[in-house]
Amino acid sequence: MRDIKCQLLVIGAGPGGYVCAIRAGQLGLDTVIVEAEKPGGTCLNVGCIPSKALIHAADEFAKASAFAAGGTPLGIHAGEARIDYPKTAEWKDGIVRRLTNGVSGLLKKAGVKHVDGWARFRDGKTVHVDTPTGPQTVTADHIVIATGSTPIELPGLPFGGAVLSSTGALALTEIPQKLAVVGAGYIGLELGTAFAKLGSQVSVLEAMERILPAYDEELTRPVKKRLEALGVRVLTGVKAERHSASAGTLSYTDGGQSGTVPADAVLVTVGRAPATKGWGLEELDLTMDGRFIAVDDQCRTSMRGVHAIGDVTGEPMLAHRAMAQGEMVAEIVAGKRRAWDRHCVPAVCFTDPEIVTAGLSPQEATAAGLDVRSASFPLQANGRAMTIERDDGFVRIVARDDNHLVVGVQAVGAQISELASYFAHAIEMGARLEDVAQTVHAHPTLGEAFQEAALRTLGHALHI
C-alpha cells in the first residue's frame, strides 16, 4: 500500500480528534484521522450519549411506574408499566448510530481522509496503521495525539463476565435484577440511578467517606437524599473484594468487618485512565505529567510537531474540553495565533438531581487566595422547580469580594444541566454579580435561581 503523506495526522476520532480534524479540513490542511473503532470515541459510542439515552428511558419508566402505582399528586393514573429493554437498547443505539454517522459525514465534508485501524508511532513524524486491508504508513508534518482514556480495572474485579465497565453496562441487553456499583463517582451514580429506576436492586460501594467525593458535600446532599428515596443502598468507606457469580453476591470489607451485597452484575466505575499504551508512546519519549502527557497552553508536547489533546492530557476528562482543545490545535497548525486562555470548563453530573459546576467553589477560591463572598438560592423558592415536581437543590454563586466578579457557580437540581453553559458564559464574559442581577431573567424558569443567588450574594434577594 502506498504511503500517505499529510500535513496533519490525528490519532483518535473521539470528540477532541474529530473536531480537530474537521477544523483542520475547513482551514485547508491536508488532514488524516486514524481510528480503529467508529468515530465519536467514548463520548458518542460508550459514554455521554448512550448513558444519557439510558437515563432518559429510566426516568420515563420510573414516571410510568409511579403513575401505575397511583398516588402521585398529579392525579394521573395509568396501567401497568412494562419495559421492553432490548427495544430501549435499540433506540439508544440508534441515536449513537445517527451521531457517529453524522461525524463521518462531517469529516468527509471537511475533506479529511479517514484511515481505519490502530495506529502505532514509529517516530515523531511517522505512524504505522494496521488497517483491515493491510499495513499503512502515514507521514505527517504535525501529529495530534487524541487517544482518550479507558475505564480503570480493580485487581480483584477484572472486567469480563458479570463484572462490567461503563461500556459493558451500556451494552447490556437486559436489566440486571441485582446490581452492585463499585465507585460512587459521577459515572457509577448516573448508571446506578438509571438501573434503579429501571427496576434493579442497586447497591453502591464507595471507598471514600461519602458519594461524589470530588464535589463538596453541600452539592451532593440532594443526590444522596434522592438515592435513598429510590431505594439505592449506599455503603461508604468500604472496599469491594470478590464477586461470587454462583451466590450472586459481592463481598466487601468495612474496616475489620466484612459483608456482602446482592449482585448479579457488578459495575466497576472507579475512574478512567489516560490511554497511553499500545500506540507507541515509548517510541517518542514524551515528557509526562504523572499519568498524563504533559502539554503547554497550546497543547504542544515536549516533541516538536506533536500535539496532544483531550483525556490523555489530564483533568478534567471531559468531551467539551477536548473539543475546544482540538479546535485550537487545528488553528495553531494552520498558522493562527491561539492559546488556551479559558477561564472555566463547566462540568455536569447527570445524577438525580443533576449537578453543575463552573469555575471555582468557595473552598477552591479561598485556597487560590481570593477573598470571596458566596450565597445560594434554594429551588424550593423557585416557581418553575415546583411545577416540574422537583424543588430539591439550589444555585450557588462565588464572587470576589472586592469587585464582585463571578468566579464560580455550582448548582444542583433536576434539569439544571441546561444552565451549565449559561454559568460558564457568565464567568467567561467576566460578569459581576450586578451583571447577573441586572439581567432580566425569564419567568418562570430555573434560571431565575441564578439571578436570585446573585441578588442574595449582594445582600438583597427578592424571593427568600
Partner 1 sequence: MGQHVIKMPDVGEGIAEAELVEWHVKVGDPVAEDMVLAAVMTDKATVEIPSPVEGTVAWLGGEVGEQISVGAPLLKIEVAGDGNDDAAAAPKPAAPQAEDEDEPAAPARPTADGAETTANRQPDDDAAQDAPVAPRERPDTPAPPAGKAARDRRLPAQTRKEGDKPLAAPAVRLRAREAGVDLRFVRGSGPAGRITHEDLDLHLEAGDRPGAVAARAPDNRVTDFKVVGLRRRIAEKMQVAKSRIPHITYVEEVEMDALEDLRAALNTRKRDDQTRLTVLPFLLLAMVKAIREQPGLNALYDDEAGVVHQHGGVHVGIATQTRNGLVVPVVRHAETLDLWACAAEIARLAEAARNGTATREELSGSTITITSLGALGGIATTPVINHPEVAIVGVNKMQVRPVWDGAQFLPAKMMNLSSSFDHRIIDGWEAAVFVQRIKTLLETPASIFIED
Q: In the complex, which residues of this chain contact partner 1 (CB under 8 A)?
A: 336-339, 341-342, 400, 402-405, 428-430, 432, 434-435
Q: Are 17 and 11 in contact (CB under 8 A)?
A: yes
∠ CA 396-375-234, rounded to 5°:
50
Residue 46 identity (one-letter amino acid): V
53, 92, 219 from 86: Cα distances, Å:
13, 10, 35
Helix or strand run (H / E) with residue 162? none
Helix (H, G, I), strand (E, B) or coil at 312: helix
Main-chain phi, psi angles of 250, to 5 degrees = -115, 125
Cα three-residue angle 262-264-269, rounded to 5 degrees: 90
Residue type, 328: M
User: Is 303 strand, coil or helix?
Assistant: coil
Q: Kind of pairing, strands 201-206 and 233-236?
A: parallel
- Nine cell digits for residue 109: 465534508
Residue number with CB closer to partner 1 (270 or 360): 360
Separation between Cα atoms, residue 325 and residue 178, nearest integer Å: 40
- Catalytic annotation, pick one of 56, 441, 443, 463: 443
CB-based contacts of 337: which residues, under 8 Å, 6+ apart?
A: none
Q: Which residues are CB-neighbours of 140 under 8 A, at least 6 positions away?
A: 5, 6, 7, 8, 9, 32, 125, 126, 127
Closest approach of partner 1 to the CB of residue 402, in Å: 8
Least Cα distance to 311 among 185, 193, 461, 146 occurs for: 146
Residue 271 CB, shortest distance to partner 1, in Å, is: 31
Closest CB to partner 1 among 120 and 404? 404
Nearest to 187 by CA among 234, 151, 215: 151
- Say if residue 88 is exposed, middle or buried (CB neighbours under 10 Å; 0-12, 13-18, 19+): buried
State in angstroms the smallest separation of the CB of 459 from partner 1.
10
| CB closer to partner 1 out of 138 and 458 | 458
| 114 a catalytic residue | no
Cell numbers describing residue 30: 491536508
Least separation, in Å, of the C-beta of 111 and partner 1? 25
372: cell is: 470571596
Q: Closest CB to partner 1 among 57 and 375?
A: 375
* C-beta closer to partner 1: residue 211 or 324: 324
List CB contacts of 160: < 8 A, sequence separation 6 or more: none
* 206, β-bridge pairs: 236
Task: Give how far the C-alpha of residue 83 lies from the chain's centroid of Cα atoms, to the nearest Å.
Answer: 27
CB of 174 or CB of 402, closer to partner 1: 402
Least Å from the CB of residue 405 to partner 1: 5
Cell triple for 49: 450519549
The amino acid present at 34, given as its one-letter code, is V
Residue whose CB is less far from partner 1, 122 or 338: 338
142 vs 404, which CB is nearer to partner 1?
A: 404
Nearer to partner 1, 388 or 429 (CB): 429
Q: In angstroms, give the least distance from the CB of 337 to partner 1.
A: 5
Q: Cα–Cα distance between 336 and 318 in angstroms, integer?
A: 25
CB of 422 to partner 1, least distance (A): 15
Do 8 and 31 meet the contact criterion of CB atoms below 8 Å apart? yes
How large is the C-alpha radius of gyration of the chain? 24
Query: Rounded to the nearest whole angstrom, what is the least distance from the CB of residue 404 to partner 1 in the complex?
Result: 7
In the complex, the smallest distance separating the C-beta of residue 106 from partner 1, rounded to whole angstroms, is 23
- Show which residues are catalytic: 443
